[in-house]
Each structure stands twice: as structure tokens, then as C-alpha cells.
Amino acid sequence: MDNAICMEYVVPGDDFTRAGEASANMKQSLKRLGVPAAAVRRAAIALYEGEINLAIHAGGGRIRVEVTPDTIAMHLEDDGPGIADIPLAMSEGYTTAPAEVRSLGFGAGMGLPNMKKYTDTFEIQSTVGVGTTIDMSVSIA
């Protein structure tokens, strides 16, 4: 990991309109690094979903991205309420998002399934009352 490039972001929890800034920044950075477009798009979509989740569910959180010649590794962590039933949360269409969030175009229960779908590795750990961490990566072909 000697030649890894790292990017760190703080996602605010009180401003939904700003969610996506970190993902957009990462996307631009990956493009500038010459990462192939397909890998850039998959990583950007997955991180964007994660960022939306941090803003909606967790009161904000922290993101760390490490880019090596082979991999885009993304680490997300928060001090939110945690997830009691991860398999249920991972199923398409299950959501705990309030109606207000759905009126903004999100909260359809596709966030976590999408993150898994667009990445090559995906691990989630959560403790109720403590928070949630997600580690996911996209291989650069």
C-alpha cells in the first residue's frame, strides 16, 4: 500500500442537500488519476448511496478512500443508531426512511443492496446504539 492515494471526507448529518459532495469529489479525483470509467462509475454510485445513508440515517459520518493501482477501497463509519437486522436491511425494498426522505427521491430500500451490487467486496458491521462501518471495494481491471 506504499503507493496508495488517500482521500478523507466528513459527511454532515444535518444537510441532505450537501450529500453527494464527497462522492462527486472522489469521482473527479479518480478520473484525474486515470482510473477506467467503468470502475469510477461503480465506485461513485456505491459511495453516493453510502453518503446518502450517512446523511439520512446516521446523523452524518466519515469516509476514507484508498486508491491503489488495483483497487478503490472505501471505508464508511458513523456513530448512528446502528442496524439491528443486517440481512433484513440488505434486502431490496426494505426501508426505515421517513416519508420526508422518500419525497426527496430516496429511501426506496435500495441503498445497501446497490452498494453491494456495484462493488466487488462488501462488508458491513453494525452495533445498535454504537454505529455502523462499511468496507467495500471496486477492482480496477
Partner 1 sequence: MTIQQMQEILGARLLTPAADLSQEVHTACGSDMMSDVLAYVKDQAVLLTGLNNPQVVRTADMMDMVCIVFVRGKMPGDEVLGLAESRDIAVLSTDLPMFAACGLLYQHGLRGGEWHG
Q: Which residues bind partner 1 (CB under 8 A)?
A: 16-17, 19-20, 23-24, 27, 37, 41, 44-45, 48-49, 52, 104-111, 113-114, 117
Q: How far is the CB of 109 from partner 1 (least distance, A)?
A: 8
Q: Which is nearer to partner 1, 1 or 99 (CB)?
A: 99
Q: How far is the CB of 140 from partner 1 (least distance, A)?
A: 17
Distance CA 13, CA 27 (A): 21
Q: Which is nearer to partner 1, 26 or 73 (CB)?
A: 26
**DSSP per-residue string spanning 59-124:** SEEEEEEEE-SSEEEEEEEE-S---S-HHHHHSTT-----HHHHTTT--SS-HHHHHHHH-SEEEE
Cell matching residue 24: 462527486
Q: How far is the CB of 24 from partner 1 (least distance, A)?
A: 6
Q: How far is the CB of 101 from partner 1 (least distance, A)?
A: 10
User: Taking the CA atoms of the chain, what radius of gyration do you get in angstroms?
Assistant: 14
* Type of residue found at 117: K
Cell matching residue 86: 443486517
Q: Which is nearer to partner 1, 18 or 130 (CB)?
A: 18
Q: Which is nearer to partner 1, 108 or 124 (CB)?
A: 108
Closest CA to 118 of 30, 34, 50: 50
